[in-house]
């Protein structure tokens, strides 16, 4: 009688392990697919920003932003294309920074800025910046943000953008 109970316990254990392995495998496949899509979307954003910059940025411009004024609703997201042209005589690494300009307004907007970008001498590069309006923002509020391109730690060029929160 004890042997029958032991066999039933081992069968249950094996079934639970098999189900666990199957669920783990399905979860890993799903996560891998999700990360592949995110990587693809990120690459597409960089390609689109780069194409826009190459088409619209002047030959003598150091810095370009795809708009100066943005009217956005609460909880909305937008991608802003920023272009940097390396007019220095050597290859350089550039980073972008967004900071409020003028009077500080709360809540702060959420900028997602890629890391340092290496740009060859005389070349242009488009960089997408993601901007998200938090749910706590108030309609009718106007934000001024200075978007700066930094070469190493010194400011290379900058522009101010205006973000109006609309209902």
pLDDT band at residue 3 under the 50/70/90 scheme: low
Domain 1-167, what architecture? Sandwich (2.60)
The DSSP line for 130-147 is: EEE--TT--TT-EEEEEE
Each residue's pLDDT tens digit, 43-54:
777 777 767 776
Q: Domain-by-domain residue ranges, the chain? A: 1-167
Helix (H) or strand (E) holding 13: helix 2-56
- Say whether pTM exceeds 0.85: no
Each residue's pLDDT tens digit, 115-167:
999 999 888 888 889 999 999 999 999 999 999 999 988 999 999 999 999 98
Which residue is it, tokens 């199957």? 22
Q: Which residue, 34, 41, 42, 64, is CA-closest to 52?
A: 64
The DSSP line for 49-103 is: HHHHHHHHS-TT-SEEES-SEEEEETT-EEEEEEEEE--SSS-EEEEEEEEE-SS
Q: Is residue 46 within 8 Å of 83, Cβ to Cβ?
A: no
Each residue's pLDDT tens digit, 6-56:
666 687 888 899 999 999 999 998 888 887 777 776 677 777 776 777 677
């Amino acid at each position: 009688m004890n042997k029958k109970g032991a066999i039933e316990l081992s069968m249950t254990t094996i079934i639970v392990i098999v189900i666990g392995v199957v669920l783990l495998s399905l979860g890993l496949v799903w996560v891998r697919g999700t990360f592949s899509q995110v990587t693809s979307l990120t690459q597409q954003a960089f390609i689109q920003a780069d194409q826009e910059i190459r088409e619209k940025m002047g030959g003598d411009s150091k810095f370009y932003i795809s708009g100066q004024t943005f009217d956005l609703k609460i909880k909305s997201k937008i991608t802003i294309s920023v272009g940097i042209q390396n007019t220095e005589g050597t290859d350089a690494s550039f980073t972008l920074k967004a900071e409020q300009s003028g009077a500080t307004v709360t809540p702060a907007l959420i900028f997602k800025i890629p890391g340092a970008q290496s740009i060859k001498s005389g070349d242009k590069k488009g960089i997408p910046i993601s901007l998200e309006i938090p749910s706590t923002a108030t309609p009718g509020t106007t934000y001024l943000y200075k978007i700066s391109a930094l070469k190493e730690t010194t400011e290379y060029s900058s522009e101010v953008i205006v973000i109006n929160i609309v209902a």
